[in-house]
Each structure stands twice: as C-alpha cells, then as structure tokens.
Amino acid sequence: MSIYKSAVEKPITTLMFFVAVLVLGVFSLIQLPIDLYPEIEPPYISVMTTYSGASAADIEVNVTKLIEDRLASVDKLKEITSSSYDNMSVVSLEFQWDANLDEAVSDVRNALDWVLDALPEAADRPNVFKFNTSMMPILFYSVTANSSYSGLEKILDQKVVNALNRIDGIGSVSMNGAPTRVVYVDMDQSKMDAYNLGVEQVGNVIKAENLDMPSGNVKMGTEDYQLRVEGEFDESVEIAELVVGSFGGKNIYLKDIATVRDTIKDLSFDQRVNGRQGITMIVTKQSGANTVKIAGAVRRELQKIAPTLPPDVKIEEIFDSSTFIRNSVSNLSETLMYEFIFVVVVVLFFLGRWRATLIIVITIPVSLLSAFIYLMMTGNSINIISLSSISIAIGMVVDDAIVVLENISRHVGRGSSPREASIYATNEVWLSVIATTLVIAAVFVPLTTISGMMGVMFKQLGWIVTIATVVSTVAAITIVPMLSSKFLKVRPANKRVMRFGYVNTVGRFLDVFDRAYGRLLGWCVTHKKVVVVLAAAVFALSFYVFGMVGSDYMPETDQGRVTVMIELQTGTRVEETMKTVRSFERLVAEKYPEVALTSAATGSNDQGGVSALFTTNGSHISNITFRLHERSQRKRDVFELAELMRADLKKYPEVINYNVSTADGGLMGGGSALQVEIFGYDFDKTNRVTADIRRRLDSIKGAENIQVSRKNDRPELKVRFDKEKLMRHGLNSATVSAYVRNRVDGMVAGKLREEGEEYDIIVRLNEDSRNTIRKLEEMTMLTPQGKQIRLRELGRVEEHWSPPNITRKRKERIVTIDVTPVGVPLGTIAQQIQAEINKVEIPPEVLVRIGGSYEDQQESFQSLILLLLLSILLVFIVMASQFESFSNPLVIMFSIPFSFSGSFLALYLTGTTMNLIAALGMVLLVGVVVKNGIVLVDYMNLMRDRGMKLNDAIVVSGRSRLRPVLMTALTTILGMLPMALSAGEGSEIWAPMGVAVIGGLTFSTMITLIIVPVMYAVVSKSGERDKARKVRKRFRFMDNLDSGNQN
C-alpha cells in the first residue's frame, strides 16, 4: 500500500494528520520567544589580574607572560591576546566555537592554579570572566533633571530601579554617571599652616564627634532604660561649627579654616542627554528571556512610574533593542505575506483554476509551520535568521505540490475520475518529486555543519529549509492527491468558454508563448555550435563582470544609531573636552534633523566598572550616541550621516582622533573592519612602522575610522622622595604618600547619616591649594614630632610620560591599526593596504599582516567554496542515481555556471558587493537551478524512451515542461523579490541574497531552457541515438524472419 493511495483512501486520517501539524505549529508560534539573533555563547574568556603599583611593562613580564604561557595549552584554544595596563593585566582567550565553555572555564581555572605560586606576592588572585550575551543591555534610558538633579540617584533607586527589578526576566538595572551626595570639607593650606593643623587632625576630630554609642542599661523604679550617647550629626551644617583645636588659648572652629560643602561628588565625568545633565540607566535581561516581552513590561512600568516622579525628571529612551527586533520581525512578516501573495498569483496565472491553486497554497502554511515546530523543539526563538530562512523556503515549498497537481489535473483533463487520477498521477511523479527534494537537501544539509559565527546563522537556515521542503514533499504526495480527489472536477467538454475568461486571455497568451519557445528550441538544436559558442561567450563575459563586483564580508545594517568617539590631546581636562563636544552637538543639531536624541559621556567614570573594559575613556575622550528617527521618517541612512559627520569632525583642529561607527559591534552587524597587525618587541621600531603605515593609510580613499591600538604616552605627575630626608624627619614613603593622598584625593572622615542613607564626609585641601606643581610642593604635613614640613623638603614633584599599554597576541607584542572601509569594498581596500605595506621598509624582526574581518572573509569564502563543491558533488550523486546515468547529471549541471553568471550580473547592476550572504545565495542556487534541469531532462528521456526522435523529443519536452519550469522558477524569484527590495529595518542583511538568487535564477532559467536541451542533444548523439541498432545486433539470429509490414 503506497502512501499516496492510503492518503486518498483515508481522507479523514490524512486531514487530521495535517491539522495536527498545523495546530502544533500555531502552538509553537505562540510560545516561541522573539529575539534578534539565535542564542549564542561567544567563546571568549578573560582573565583579569590586578597588581597594584606595577607599571605596564612590569605587569607584562611578571603577570601577563606567566599566565599566557600557562594558558596557551588549554584545550580548544584558538587565539590568545593580552593587554597589560598600569596595575592590571587582562588576558583574553578565544576558543573554538564548538568548545564547551563551562569546561573551558574549569580548564582555565586549573591552569591558573599552577601559575599562582609564580605570580608576585602583591598581585591579586586572577579573576576568570566569561562573556555572556545576556550581559548585553537590552534597554538604554537617559534620565535628565534640573532642580532634582542632585537627588536623582536616590529618587531613581527608590522609585524606578526597585520597581523594574521586580519584572520577570530582568537581569539587572544599573545607573551610570549618577550624582552621589558628598559632604566636602575644603581646607585652606595657609590657614592650616597658621594654626599648625593637618588634614588628618581635622579628619579625626570630625570622626570622633560623629558618633552614636550604646552605653549600658539604667534601672529606674520599675523600668529598665537603655542608655545611649548620641553625637551623630543630624545635618551637615553642624560640621562647620566643630572645634578642631585651639591656638593661643582660643578655640578654632572648623569654619575658620575650611568651607563645608554639602553637595554632589566632583566628577571627572559628564553625562548629557540632548545637552541636559543626566544619567544613563541600563537594563539587561536574564539569559533566555524574551527581549520583546521584557522591554514592553519595562515600558509599561515606566509609564506607571512617570507621574510619581518630580516634574523635572525626564526618562527618555536612547536605545531599545526590542524596537529593532519588533521592526525587523514585522518587516519580515510583511515580506512573508507579500511572498505568499506572489506565489498564489503565479500559481493562479499558470493554472487558471481556483481549486487547484487553493490545494497548492495549502502546502505553504503546513510546511512553514512545521519549521516553527522545529524551532520550538530545539529551544530556539523567532529571530531574524529563522524568519529569513522561512521566507527563503516559501518559494520552494510549493514546487512539489505544483508538479503533483499538474499531473493530476492533466489526467483529470483526459477524463479520468479525480479519485483514480489522484492515485495514478501521483504514482507517476512521486519518485522524481522525492529526487528534487533530495537535491535541495543535498545543498542545505551541509550548511548545518558549518561552525563558528557563520554556523549560528546557517545552521537554522539549513535545517529550516530542509525541514520545510521535506514536509512540503510529504504534503505533496499525501494531502495534495487527497484534496485533488475531493475537489478537482472533470470539466465538461462542451463547457462554454467565456470571452474574457482565463482560456481566452492568459491561456491564449501562454499557448503563443509555448509555441514561440518550441520554434526557438527547434532552431537551437539544429544550430548547436552557434548556441554553444554564444553560451561560452556569455559565461566568459560574466567573469569579466565579476572582476568589477567588489567583495565584502557582511552587509551592514542601519540600526538607527551613530556612535561617535572624539579624542583630544592626551591629558586634556574634562572641561575642555566638553567644550568641543558641546560645539559638535550644536553642529549636529543644526545640520542633521534626522537626529532624535543625543547622549554624550565625556571623561572617565570610576564607577563604570566592567563597562570600562569595552569602551575607552579618559578625560580627553568623549563617547556620543546619536539616536535617529525611524528609518521610514528619514531620507538619509546612517551610513550617509556617518560619512558627513566624519567630514565635520575633520574641521575641528583640537580633535586628534575620532571614530564614527554605525554598527553596535553586535553579532552580524559587525561590519567590515580590517586590522593591520604589526608584531614586534621593540616599541621604537614598531612605533616607527605603525606611524609610517598610518600615514600611508590616510592617502587611501575610503579608509576611515583609522584607530591605532597603542595609545600615546600619558602625562603624569610623579612625587620622588628623598629617602634620606624622610628618615631624618622620622617619616617613610608609606606615611607620606598617605598624607599626599589625603590632601589631594581626600580623607574619608566618617559618614553623614540621613533617612537611612549614608553619605561620605571628605576632608581635603581646597581646589586652589592643589592646582599647580608649585602648590603641591608647598603642601605641609606634620612630622611625628608635631613639626610642620613641606612636601618640597622631602622630595620633588616631576612631570613624566608614562609608558603605553602593552597588547600582545599569540604571546608577541602587537600594535593594530583598525580601518573601516566606507563606500569601498573590503577586498579592494585590503589589496590597496597590502600594496602600501609593501612599500614600507620593515625591519626584519617586525611582522606586518592584515587581519580582522578581512581574515574572516577569506576564511568564510574558503569554507563556502568547499561547501559549494560538497553540494555539487552531493547533487551529482542524487541525480546520477535518479537517472541511472553519468551523462544526464552533467547535462543538467551545465546550468549551474550560468546561474553564477546571472548572480554576478545582478550584483553588478544593482551595485551590491559580493559578500558572504550573496555567496550563500549562490550556493542555494545550485539546488534550485538543478531542480529545473531535472524536470526538463527527465521528460526528454521519457519522450525518447517512448520512441521519439532526438530533436522532436527535445522540442516536445521543452514545450510541455515550459510552464512547470517557469512556474517553479517564478515562485522562487517572486518569493525573493520582497526580500531584495525591502528597505525596512534589518533588511540590509538579506537583500544581497535576494539579489543574487533573483539574478541567478532568472538568468539561469532562461539559459537552462536553451542550453540544457542543446547539451542534451550534443551528449546524446553518440551513445543513445543508436540504441535501437545495438539491440537489433544482439538479436541477429532473428534476421530472416518475416518482419510483417514494418521493415
């Protein structure tokens, strides 16, 4: 009992089976979380070690090197890089993508145990730090305020952060740049000198006065009282009234020698949103939680909270990753809908029958929903990768149903009853339907074996398309015959033909088209040489075109955000940096109406913590984020704006370095950065080479955002003690350095308690007494003998340049120059840079090479080519076994090169670069194109076996198969069209694939319809034409028989 026969004979079982698939699919669709990308665990582990007081060079030798050597042998390690800073060493390990990170972490820990003894004693224990996608913030808010600014932290903490933390799935809510309240006691140096007081004495007095002390129990009568001494300050004003000492018999009040300021902490950090002072609030989610859902919950919660906040506090959104997700998803859903409509229209156009169209279209939801079941079972999410894969599949899933239904309706048209026709017609084609599906699987299944970043993307694509096509094939040989047996009708022969009905309009047009094609084919098979030469010429021409198509790694996406890093001369004060930033902000506000929100962070923030690992900051650096209006509301895209901003920044003389970036360094949007890596131990030599290359890069057009990893030396003030003088006054370095710290940075003299919160009381010299080297040298401190002594008498304050940070890769010192190609393909720029590097005189111990995305691009293209070869081989295997022939698959494969020609042409005409996605599109083409060839060659074989002459068989088959070939090709082409044309969020990623597939398929379909029949004629000539004669030879012994009327 064959599957299609059972399906027709048990329609209810069949129907229920598919209803079950549909229900499960819809159920999965509702349950699946929505995210931007599939969940991935980037294989990076960092080891951080602090060693206070050591310079970068010390750290490199004593910490970094030891750790590197030990970790280099950890399993599955791909690359080891390190940075040695003053006081800190960071070793970053990149593992292979298939590595189990939990195992890797424990391996790293074990390896570190061996190092511990060898590390310097003062070094802290190394911390192992695993990067996780859930640490990526999903929401960025800016909070601005005017009069409530000083109390902002408390307000937010109580009203916002606590409320948000209660939302299910929230990882953390943190604030950046929040003002904290502090009580400053600013001492005047000369007055302290006059009263013979030191900062430490004053601090100790404040500490001693600020005290609550339980002092036992007192029994009085029948009661038992607790006794408490209460001396804590209720208000900061009290501090000023303290008596800190006496001089000449008179009390000295604190207010006599210092000013007490109850204010917010001095920051070397300035956070502004649209020019207003504010802070940023960052929300992260727990891993595996639904970003869209959480973002929605946070938004609702904030709306509820908003009225309870003081009126001047404004919470604005800087970045909401869910917006991009939602827009991409709805954009893709729209694409899917258009594709669906196109497919329906194509099928209806060619078949001209409502019922038949309906039956075919039913396979679309069935096979697509099965993809959701797969996503659900494997714990994936609805993301732009899975949705794109589905939209790639949509044009292919109808093909099998079309082939089956076409045959059934042919039988029905001949007068068979629908029920019988459904069974027998399906029987005729089911094997070739399965073969074409195997061909598709042969192309897509190898995709799932790719590992790494590409693998994340292609794994889902491979499985989804394979599963959808397999399910569609199952549907094509079960539910399609079943429905046909129920719904198709035998058309009465004498049915009145409507004047403007289908038969008289589209039908007639298609008939004319069939005949014209038949004539063309007839001419071609008799002029084979001309056709072959022409085809070869077209193919050669396409290679010439290919030479003009640029190559890139990954398409960049317009995420509606531009981030700008501005760097001034090292050592510039925050205030100065801010001036430049304000001026740039004003310029942007005037020039670019597209900018909806500006958020600038200037200076360094010591509270930044972990985030400081990812962004460079310093008092001379500002990071600015511009959020743009939605894509549909602006004409210019981010790339254009970024380009203009770069031009603007060039006009600021004080800006020595800038970086305008449109990507957020995310997964796929990583763009096409390129790195020139300069290996070498000697700082001077590598610096010289770096500077030379850096200068030459400026002359290359399109090389933007040039960043050198080794930063300039930093100016520093150093206090050098004269040890002998210290001894003479009974002091040592430790005490004096503590004294210096108390005077400059401040001494924490207890806390001011108010309404359950604690605020630091900081005693230090006032600004005026510590703002020149001279004044620093004039600082006084008390010797153990109670004598005043100036810093100048103990040592000198010197200006210094501190050495740069040291980065290493593969255990060698390295300098990298990052370059972002703008408007020029990555491959082109890499070649130009290589040419420039070749001109540079490089000392023998220095090695220069190009890495970054360029390296990835090369690697990826290589593995794609390998994949292509594998696919072609598998496709050949499938076809050879289907046809039981070596020559037929070869004939069909002649169409593959032409599909590439078409892709090159389309890429060239649309100005798209050859990137990874376009290349992937071309790999997919192999399957789709071959499918058309199979349909054609299969029928030609059939016609010849039925005794037709070669040329007749070719023409007849061509005419007969023209419609199915055009139909399956058109459904795929039009299915891809919305993808190629879409301009919404996230569309940039898949558009190149659309272009490549549409171009390749259009071109190759046209070529297939000519070249495959012609090649078939060429190949068949020698072998199969005289099959009959060969058979006759074997039966010579019957030669003398009366052969009847045929001779």
Residue placing its CB nearer to other proteins in the complex, 254 or 936: 936
Token code pair at residue 157: 């903490």
Residues that bind other proteins (CB under 8 A): 411, 414-417, 419-421, 423-424, 427-428, 431, 941-942, 945-946
Q: How many CA atoms lie within 13 A of 890 on its CB side?
A: 9
Q: How far is the CB of 1 from other proteins (least distance, A)?
A: 12
Strands (E), 552-696: 561-568, 595-603, 621-628, 655-661, 674-679
Residue placing its CB nearer to other proteins in the complex, 883 or 908: 883
CA 517, CA 64: separation in Å to the nearest integer?
73
For residues 591, 594, 596 and 598, what is the CA-based torsion angle, rounded to 10 degrees? -50
Residue placing its CB nearer to other proteins in the complex, 762 or 934: 934
Residue placing its CB nearer to other proteins in the complex, 144 or 437: 437
∠ CA 610-615-619, rounded to 5°:
105
CA 125, CA 727: separation in Å to the nearest integer?
34
Using DSSP, state whether 794 is helix, strand or coil.
coil
Closest CA to 929 of 882, 877, 891: 891
Q: How many CB atoms lie within 10 A of CB 844?
A: 7
Residue placing its CB nearer to other proteins in the complex, 414 or 718: 414
Q: How far is the CB of 416 from other proteins (least distance, A)?
A: 4
Residue placing its CB nearer to other proteins in the complex, 282 or 942: 942
Residue placing its CB nearer to other proteins in the complex, 503 or 942: 942
> Which DSSP symbol is given to 487?
H
Q: How far is the CB of 428 from other proteins (least distance, A)?
A: 4
Residue placing its CB nearer to other proteins in the complex, 45 or 423: 423
Q: What are phi and psi of 440, to 5 degrees?
A: -60, -45
Q: How far is the CB of 1045 from other proteins (least distance, A)?
A: 12
- CA-derived radius of gyration, the chain: 38
Residue placing its CB nearer to other proteins in the complex, 410 or 694: 410
Token code pair at residue 384: 């732009």
Q: How far is the CB of 411 from other proteins (least distance, A)?
A: 6
Q: How far is the CB of 346 from other proteins (least distance, A)?
A: 27
CA 715, CA 773: separation in Å to the nearest integer?
13
The owner of tokens 């292979």 is 96
Q: How far is the CB of 1026 from other proteins (least distance, A)?
A: 18
The owner of tokens 């003894």 is 117
Residue placing its CB nearer to other proteins in the complex, 321 or 941: 941
Residue placing its CB nearer to other proteins in the complex, 771 or 881: 881
Q: How far is the CB of 412 from other proteins (least distance, A)?
A: 9
Residue placing its CB nearer to other proteins in the complex, 196 or 432: 432
Give the C-alpha distances (Å, rounded to integers) separating 906 from 303, 541, 911, 1009. 49, 13, 8, 19
Closest CA to 41 of 79, 96, 80, 2: 96
Token code pair at residue 380: 């994936």
CA 600, CA 275: separation in Å to the nearest integer?
8
Please provide the DSSP assignment of 670-705 as one string: T---EEEEEE-S-HHHHHHHHHHHHHHHHTSTTEEE
Q: How far is the CB of 1005 from other proteins (least distance, A)?
A: 25
Give the C-alpha distances (Å, rounded to integers) separating 77 from 80, 107, 614, 860. 8, 11, 22, 19
Contact assessment for residue 560 and residue 631, using Cβ atoms and an 8 Å cutoff:
yes
Q: How far is the CB of 408 from other proteins (least distance, A)?
A: 11
CA 571, CA 109: separation in Å to the nearest integer?
38
Q: How far is the CB of 517 from other proteins (least distance, A)?
A: 24
Closest CA to 347 of 365, 336, 362, 368: 362
Residue placing its CB nearer to other proteins in the complex, 343 or 423: 423
Closest CA to 403 of 433, 424, 423: 433
Residue placing its CB nearer to other proteins in the complex, 431 or 717: 431
> Which DSSP symbol is given to 493?
T
Q: How far is the CB of 429 from other proteins (least distance, A)?
A: 8
Q: How far is the CB of 430 from other proteins (least distance, A)?
A: 10
Residue placing its CB nearer to other proteins in the complex, 421 or 441: 421
Residue placing its CB nearer to other proteins in the complex, 435 or 981: 435
Give the C-alpha distances (Å, rounded to integers) separating 750 from 192, 532, 572, 747, 763. 21, 92, 33, 9, 10
Torsion sign over Cα 375, 379, 382, 385: negative
Give the C-alpha distances (Å, rounded to integers) separating 496 from 126, 348, 414, 511, 530. 88, 20, 18, 19, 46
Contact assessment for residue 721 and residue 733, using Cβ atoms and an 8 Å cutoff:
yes
Which residues does 67 contact at the CB level (< 8 Å), separation at least 6? 47, 49, 82, 89, 91, 112, 115, 126
Question: Amino acid letter at 451?
Answer: S
Residue placing its CB nearer to other proteins in the complex, 235 or 945: 945
Token code pair at residue 224: 């038992």
Residue placing its CB nearer to other proteins in the complex, 882 or 1004: 882
Q: How far is the CB of 427 from other proteins (least distance, A)?
A: 7
Contact assessment for residue 480 and residue 359, using Cβ atoms and an 8 Å cutoff:
yes
CA 571, CA 565: separation in Å to the nearest integer?
16
Distance of CA 924 to the CA centre of its chain: 23
Q: How far is the CB of 490 from other proteins (least distance, A)?
A: 9
> Which DSSP symbol is given to 309?
S
Q: How far is the CB of 945 from other proteins (least distance, A)?
A: 4
Q: How far is the CB of 538 from other proteins (least distance, A)?
A: 33
Q: How far is the CB of 414 from other proteins (least distance, A)?
A: 5
